[in-house]
Homo-oligomer: A and B are copies of this chain.
Amino acid sequence: MTDRILTAAPLTAEAFHSFGDVIDTQRAPDKIINQGMCDRYTDLAKLDFSDGRAGISLFDAKARHLPYTVDLLERHPDGSQAFIPITPTRFLVIVAPDAGGMPGAAQAFFTAPGQCVNLHRGVWHGVLAPFEAPGLFAVIDRIGSGANLEEHPLDRPYIVTAAPD
């Protein structure tokens, strides 16, 4: 079986809407605080946990390069998962709709500098993939009991061959 080619698209809230939230400042701040010294953009992600609670973890991930092979997708049935880059790292976000308990046709996105994402609960996705440089990320996800993980190896891997500038 042949590989499937993906081209990464710029990450925008509209394009990513069915998979999760794009956390960025591409909107008006809702409040100016600290005597005018700080713009606040409040509550930009849908944190959604079946049980347990929200926690903050760190993921220190090695770089990925093109062509980038995606041979596994996974999902977390019990909670959303947000990725906040602490290092100035752009990253690839591979996601797929559910198709009867399996991932459907995948899409690839590429973050702009400073963009964060929150994957909605249960969304199929690839692993954290910092692009061309290693990256340290804060991850806001569910802390609780149980595996909260389904993995789906792909018979036909996807190959991401291009990303926006």
Complex CA–CA separation, A11 to B37 (angstroms): 23
State whether B85 touches A61 (Cβ < 8 A): no
Size of the A side of the interface (Cβ < 8 Å), in residues, is 42
> Hey, which chain B residues are within 8 Å of A84, CB to CB?
56, 84, 86, 138
In this assembly, does A82 line the interface, its C-beta being within 8 Å of a C-beta of chain B?
Answer: yes
In this assembly, does A143 line the interface, its C-beta being within 8 Å of a C-beta of chain B?
Answer: yes
State whether B114 touches A86 (Cβ < 8 A): yes
How does the 8 Å CB contact mask read for A109-139 relative to B, with 1 for contact and 0 for none?
Answer: 0000010101000000001100000001010
> Hey, which chain B residues are within 8 Å of A88, CB to CB?
87-88
Complex CA–CA separation, A84 to B147 (angstroms): 27
Q: Say whether, besides A87-B88, A88-B88, A55 and B59 are in contact (CB < 8 Å).
A: no
How does the 8 Å CB contact mask read for A6-30 relative to B, with 1 for contact and 0 for none?
Answer: 0000000000000000011100010
A43-71, CB < 8 A from B: 43-45, 47, 53-62, 64
In this assembly, does A156 line the interface, its C-beta being within 8 Å of a C-beta of chain B?
Answer: no
Complex CA–CA separation, A84 to B140 (angstroms): 11
State whether A127 touches B38 (Cβ < 8 A): yes
State whether B62 touches A56 (Cβ < 8 A): no
> Hey, which chain B residues are within 8 Å of A82, CB to CB?
56
The smallest beta-carbon distance between A140 and chain B, in angstroms, is 6
The smallest beta-carbon distance between A112 and chain B, in angstroms, is 12
Q: Which residue of B lies closest to A35 (CB)?
A: B127
Q: Which residue of B lies closest to A114 (CB)?
A: B86
Q: Say whether, besides A114-B86, A138-B84, A53 and B60 are in contact (CB < 8 Å).
A: no
